[in-house]
Amino acid sequence: MNRNVVAILVLPLAVILSSCSTDPIPLEFGKDTCYSCKMTLMDNKFGAELVTKKGKVYKFDDINCLLDYYNSNEEEQTEYAHKLVIDFTKPGTLIEASNSHYLKAEEIKSPMASKIAAFEDYELMKANKEKWNGIYLSWGEVVTQFK
């Protein structure tokens, strides 16, 4: 078989496979729109993303927007390859939501007033908890707060 024929046969397959990627896509602040509230993502200390096992990406500007969508589609909750949130201490950095530590405090000025920040590092969350007199929440507690 000549190389051109092989290339013609392989190229569409490569395009199809690459379009089904379940890799997270970085949030583009000032450009991306929240799937839930339709506002432009602006604050890089907050944000969230759901990626389905089929590669569809949903972007959110605050954790309560993600949870509004997530909780209203309970039958689909096992269909996500990734549930991601922004690490408050590393602006723009997505981290796995279920492994994160959450702080709820009046001093946290999130885009849609959830007053919740996510932290990858437990010690950093704890230090801010003491500073702001906040409440520690696990992923399960955060999910039920917005049901």
Tens digits of residue pLDDT in 70-122 = 988 876 778 899 999 999 999 999 999 999 999 999 999 999 999 999 999 99
Tell me if residue 89 falls in helix, strand or coil: coil
pLDDT for the residue numbered 79: 87
pLDDT of 1 higher than 80: no
Torsion-angle region of 38 (φ positive above 0: left; ψ -120 to 50: alpha; else: beta): left
Q: Where are the alpha helices (DSSP H) in the chain?
A: 3-19, 63-72, 122-132, 139-145
Tokens found for residue 141: 């507690």
SS3 content of the chain, % helix, strand, coil (to 5): 35, 20, 40
- The H or E element spanning position 93 is none
CB count in 10 Å sphere of residue 93: 17
Q: Where are the alpha helices (DSSP H) in 20-111?
A: 63-72
Handedness of CA 67, 73, 78, 83 (dihedral sign): negative
Domain boundaries, the chain: 22-145
Enter the pTM of the model: 0.83
Write the pLDDT tens digit of every residue in 25-54. 999 999 999 999 999 999 999 999 999 999
The residue assigned the tokens 């922004």 is 86
pLDDT of 23 higher than 90: yes
